[in-house]
Structure 1
Amino acid sequence: MAERTVPSSPQTSSQHPPSQHAVPPQGGTGTEAAARVADVLLLFTGGPEYLGVSTISRKLGISKAVVYRILQSLVSRDVLATTPGVTGYRLGPAAVALGASALRRFDAKTAAAPVLRRLRDETGETTTLSGLVGDERVYLEQFESRAEIKMTVDIGTRFPLHAGSSGKAILAQLPEWRREEILAGDLGALTDRTVTDPATLRQQLDAIGSDGVAVSLGERQSGAGSVAAALVTPDGEVHGAISVCGPEYRFTPEKIDRYRTLVRDATAEIIRNWANGKATGGHRS
């Protein structure tokens, strides 16, 4: 039997619950309510398709009564929906439309596409684009390797920033205060190679920040290797990261050194494309 492509798709985000953002005490009731609605919606971007009141209440630490009111409001606007005979709530047509619109309008996706396609052809490995979402990242685009054995990713799946090259590349470029907030949170292990010690992570992030490139060998997904760099605009805003990824056994020291240069150059080109698109009013769908 022919060997199937490996590694398998990434682990689902249900193994690492969405981060919970505390609302600053000075925030008014309106701010708190908006934050709670946002937190409820973010739960639906990872994990099971259907979520119930009790599950949401437990994950976010808010009362079932408050959760129920939020859910009913979102259902009335088609952001969430229910299915007859199925317990729980799922994303509704309005949420799907919003998501599709966001992906179409994400400037970096358009700017990155030709660069990632060429990078895939140069390396022979899958190339990806991740976007920063809250304190996590999500895959927005991939150009799959043409090799029989390859790595693929799940578009739209969220992952923590402390595990894997794309996450660490992003985390290394965030402001120190934000990085420290993340390192003070849940640093769960996704594999037996995931670094979960904050002190060790700080050392790694300092090195990544200086070099501009992160390397992962089995840290986020067993058997996978990747090299990534963050997408940072000239004003210092971090938007995401790009990566070259594939089976770990193909990521030899020689290839990693080569990919470092290619990925670093690719991010610079994407940022230039992005800036030029904005300056000329080019199509950014």
Structure 2
Amino acid sequence: MATAGIERMLVIVDAVVAGASSVDDVRAATELPNSTLYRLIGQLVDQNVLQRNRAGFLSMGMRVRSWSTAATLTPLVRTNYALLRQLRDRTGESVQLFRRVADHCLCSASVEPEHGLRDTVPVGTSLPLVDSAAGKVLLAWAVDQHRYADADVRELARVREQGHAVAARSDEPGVLAVAVPVSGPNGEVAAALCISGPTRRIRPQTAALCAVLDAAAARF
């Protein structure tokens, strides 16, 4: 992207940070042409830099919120992108690394297969702790799991015993995810390594995927 395009995107983000919540507000703050404004806002929303609710109001997206959180935390697990790509190439499925942020698990890294049916999970995607495979892994070893009334204590105990979680994506029908814990330097569970894809492909090979994920998690 040309420098001018990046500068315009930054101007739009600055306007939203300053309180612009509608396209009209952003237009007034930036004086950008309508065609440019709609195109750039659409790209920013697609990349989770901005988010737009059903009424059309704009706010900061989860990707930016994850940057803000990361700036205040020392990462316990550094992302091994080469390893994530190896997992993707070996399995042919989408691979993600999640970490916990408050009451959600946040996708901090994601790699997608180049061909075939993909399960797109953009960086910055936020999933519930209770319902997602990555969330169940992060919650299973959490000291505050008792705070979550919707959590199935017996299921979390099984996750700890088995060392993995399998769950359908509540926001993506027909998608199944498998996740395992990634340990930090002190042995605590610091992240969840996840493979996701169409249920018809993932379910028959769940055990094999868990073994591949466990081996990869040990190399972080």
| Structure 1 residues 9-55: Cα deviation after superposition (integer angstroms, max 9, x where no partner) | xxxxxxxxxxxxxxxxxxxxxxxxxxxxxxxxxxxxxxxxx9xxxxx
* 2-structure distance, mates of 1:97, 1:160: 16
Q: Which residue of 2 aligns with 1:122?
A: 90
Equivalent residue of 2:116, what SS?
coil
TM-score using structure 1 length: 0.53
* 1-structure distance, mates of 2:69, 2:168: 34
Equivalent residue of 1:148, what SS?
coil
- Distance 1:261-1:89 versus aligned 2 partners, 3 A rule: closer
Select 1:81's aligned residue among 15, 18, 23. Answer: 18
8 Å Cα contact 1:80-1:89 kept in structure 2 = no
1:1-285 map, 5 Å: 80-83=17-20, 85-86=24-25, 90-91=59-60, 99=67, 102=70, 107=75, 110-175=78-143, 178-181=144-147, 183-184=148-149, 187=150, 198=151, 201-219=152-170, 221-253=172-204, 255-270=205-220
Structure 1 unaligned blocks of 5 or more: 1-49, 51-74, 188-197, 271-285
Count matched residues.
Answer: 174
Query: Structure with the greater relative contact order (CA < 8 A, sep ≥ 6): 1 or 2?
Result: 1
TM-score using structure 2 length: 0.67
How many angstroms does 1:144 deviate by?
Answer: 0.1
Paired-residue identity, % = 26
* 1-structure distance, mates of 2:90, 2:117: 17
Equivalent residue of 2:217, what SS?
helix
* 2-structure distance, mates of 1:202, 1:97: 30
What letter matches 2:168 in structure 1?
A: L
RMSD: 3.4
What letter matches 1:152 in structure 2?
A: T
Structure 2 unaligned blocks of 5 or more: 1-12, 27-56
Equivalent residue of 2:83, what SS?
helix
